[in-house]
Amino acid sequence: MDERLTIASAKANLEKGSLSAEALVGSCLETIKQGDKDVHAFLELSQTAIEEARAIDARRNAGEQLGPLAGIPVAMKDNMLVQGWESTAGALILEGHKGSYNATVTQRLKDAGAILIGRTNMDDAAMGSSTETSHWGPTKNPWDMTKVPGGSSGGSAAAVAAGFVPVSLGSDTGGSIRQPASLCGVVGLKPTYGRVSRYGLIALASSLDQIGPFAHTVEDAALMLQVIEGKDPRDATSVDLTQTTIPELIEKDVRGLKLGLPKEYFLEGMDPAVKKTVLEAVDRLVAAGAQIEEISLPHAEYALAAYYIIQPAEASSNLGRFDGLRYGYHSSGQNLKETYERTRGEGFGREVKRRIMLGSYTLSAGYYDAYYRKALKVRSLIKKDFDDALKIVDAIVTPTSPSVAWGLGEKFNDPLTMYLSDIYTITANLATIPAMSIPCGFVNDLPVGLQIMGKAFDEYTLFRIGATYQSLTDWYLRSPDTFST
């Protein structure tokens, strides 16, 4: 069995003194330089990581009290600002843009002693489900280099799967953490909307976006959440938490927990082998003492349609700020309007332009009621479905993705088929609830993910279920052949 690089294992060695932060960060950077030529998980590596690691070692040697992530290498998705780092959100339109300040998650990681090791590849402005729309070229799935890693946080998922870093951050608007976590065989958590500050995250759809961790173990994901969560005066939608995350308190026991299986999620469109694998995982939880109840989420079939109105509508207004004047790509025209049109026409990729136009259309006079207002009402119905179901059960379990990783280029020219790969994940964003994907087996040697969704701000139950499952199985310990040590 391969030993995977986790925070827990690295921390034990750092604290014992058998490993220095400098050696750990140095070996991560070396592994990335070797392996990332093929994977392309990273867009850029930190120039100061070694220096920062040395500073942590010096403080440790001086007997100072260190933060919970002291010396731990963390990879950041390219849409979270790190002061002085280029930050492009995978988009040409932000070429050359450098973060002028730290995102709140960045600051909290730094305060906890984490070493930010580099920025990871992602779909163009986070619009995509395969990381193929990145202006900087696709990322490949470490399990099979001919396959996509999922998206939009494909680089952050692949970086953990390949063993380049123990943990990374991604952002999830409709599944952009959980779907790549599933396709790359790692843990990925989308916290409850409002749990983690979005300050310094390049916005896609502000009512859906949430930052969360990738890790190998549920405990590592919980530790990352503990560091980044909580109220932030700079994000008015962040919430004062009544219960904070305490990784040490996660019980590995699911006896008496009621798990809901939504019948609408198992109807059609799913690879039968994925369905079988997910149901086997559910059986494991039942054997461990959980109870299963079939539940209904009657508006599930409308979720994708509501999402593809709300998300492009919010994106079209959020991306209005990219004018080519204050930062990033610039293309001059005869007058200001032409400069805007040229900059945006050239700087945005095709999928991004498609969604900006979709949003402009559904928000325009005459169509607003039929599309946007209608979608907000359907969003209420979807949220009510979940609220009702979660009164009966403690958590809901589903597949994360209807299929395992597909071939590079396979769905690239068919937007609707690409959108369907997020069919099981977008509902959690619409309903604002937390959801996590954990590795639960393989189909054709490619990882399958089990999605666990819970009540708003009840990440604890997700961790409890996930940690119990990981204590009974070893899927999460496996590593891709190419990257096994």
Catalytic residue numbers, as ranges: 77, 152, 176
Residue 241 is a binding residue for another protein (CB under 8 A): no
Q: Which residue, 9 or 360, has its beta carbon nearer to another protein?
A: 360
Whole-number Å distance between alpha carbons of 383 and 189: 19
Examine residue 403 and say whether the peptide bond preceding it is cis (omega within 30 degrees of 0): no
The Cβ of residue 465 has, within 10 Å, a number of other Cβ atoms equal to 28
Residue of 14, 358, 396, 438 that binds another protein (CB under 8 A): 358
Q: Tokens representing 240? A: 């004062």
Q: Which residue, 28 or 126, has its beta carbon nearer to another protein?
A: 126
Residue 105 is a binding residue for another protein (CB under 8 A): no
Whole-number Å distance between alpha carbons of 249 and 244: 11
Residue of 111, 336, 409, 481 that binds another protein (CB under 8 A): 336
327's CB contacts (< 8 A; 6+ apart) are: 94, 96, 97
Whole-number Å distance between alpha carbons of 344 and 323: 7
Residue 374: which H helix or E strand, with range?
A: helix 374-392
Residue 267 is a binding residue for another protein (CB under 8 A): no
Residue of 335, 366, 391, 485 that binds another protein (CB under 8 A): 335
Residue of 360, 410, 473, 482 that binds another protein (CB under 8 A): 360
Q: Which of 429, 423, 433 is nearest to 129 (CA)?
A: 423
Residue of 271, 341, 412, 442 that binds another protein (CB under 8 A): 341
Residue 242 is a binding residue for another protein (CB under 8 A): no
Residue of 266, 361, 412, 442 that binds another protein (CB under 8 A): 361
CB of residue 225 vs another protein: minimum separation in angstroms? Answer: 17
Q: Tokens representing 329? A: 């790509």
Contact map string, positions 377 to 416, toward another protein, x by CB under 8 A: xxxxx-x-------------------------------xx
Q: Which of 198, 127, 119 is nearest to 155 (CA)?
A: 119
Residue 100 is a binding residue for another protein (CB under 8 A): yes
Q: Which residue, 302 or 442, has its beta carbon nearer to another protein?
A: 302
404 alpha-carbon distance from chain centroid: 17
SS3 of 294, please?
A: strand
Q: What is the end-to-end Cα distance of the chain in Å, rounded?
A: 10
Q: Which residue, 179 or 210, has its beta carbon nearer to another protein?
A: 210
Residue of 70, 82, 91, 309 that binds another protein (CB under 8 A): 309
Residue 194 is a binding residue for another protein (CB under 8 A): yes
Q: Which residue, 218 or 358, has its beta carbon nearer to another protein?
A: 358
CB of residue 46 vs another protein: minimum separation in angstroms? Answer: 17
Stretch that binds another protein, among 11-19, 334-342, 397-405, 464-472 (CB under 8 A): 334-342
Residue ranges in 55-94 that form contacts with another protein under rule CB under 8 A: 83-84
Residue 244 is a binding residue for another protein (CB under 8 A): no
Q: Whose structure tokens read 């096994």?
A: 484
Stretch that binds another protein, among 162-170, 211-219, 354-362, 444-452 (CB under 8 A): 354-362
Stretch that binds another protein, among 121-129, 138-146, 370-378, 395-403 (CB under 8 A): 370-378
Whole-number Å distance between alpha carbons of 110 and 374: 42
Stretch that binds another protein, among 72-80, 178-186, 214-222, 358-366 (CB under 8 A): 358-366
Could you give phi then psi for residue 118, rounded to 5 degrees?
170, 175
Residue 260 is a binding residue for another protein (CB under 8 A): no
Residue of 18, 65, 243, 334 that binds another protein (CB under 8 A): 334
Residue of 41, 76, 270, 356 that binds another protein (CB under 8 A): 356
Residue ranges in 124-183 that form contacts with another protein under rule CB under 8 A: none
Residue 302 is a binding residue for another protein (CB under 8 A): yes
Point out which residues pair with 306 in neighbouring strands.
none
Long-range (24+ apart) CB contacts under 8 A made by 56-60 are: 56/21, 56/113, 56/115, 57/20, 57/21, 57/22, 60/14, 60/21
Site residue total, another protein (CB under 8 A):
69
- Evaluate whether 398 touches 265 at the Cβ level (below 8 Å): yes
Q: Which residue, 348 or 469, has its beta carbon nearer to another protein?
A: 348
Residue 299 is a binding residue for another protein (CB under 8 A): yes
Q: Which residue, 140 or 195, has its beta carbon nearer to another protein?
A: 195
Residue 325 is a binding residue for another protein (CB under 8 A): yes
Q: Tokens representing 330? A: 């610039």
- Evaluate whether 119 touches 77 at the Cβ level (below 8 Å): yes
Across 186-220, b (16+ Cβ under 10 Å) vs e yields bbbbbbbbbbbbbbbbbbbbebbbbbbbbbbbbbb
Residue 376 is a binding residue for another protein (CB under 8 A): yes
- Evaluate whether 277 touches 441 at the Cβ level (below 8 Å): yes
Report the relative pairing of strands 42-45 and 446-454 from DSSP bridges.
Answer: unpaired
SS3 of 287, please?
A: helix
Which residues are at the interface with another protein (CB under 8 A)? 83-84, 96-101, 193-194, 207-208, 236-239, 299, 301-302, 304-306, 308-309, 316, 320, 324-328, 330, 334-342, 344-346, 348, 350, 353-354, 356-358, 360-361, 364, 370-371, 373-381, 383, 415-416, 432
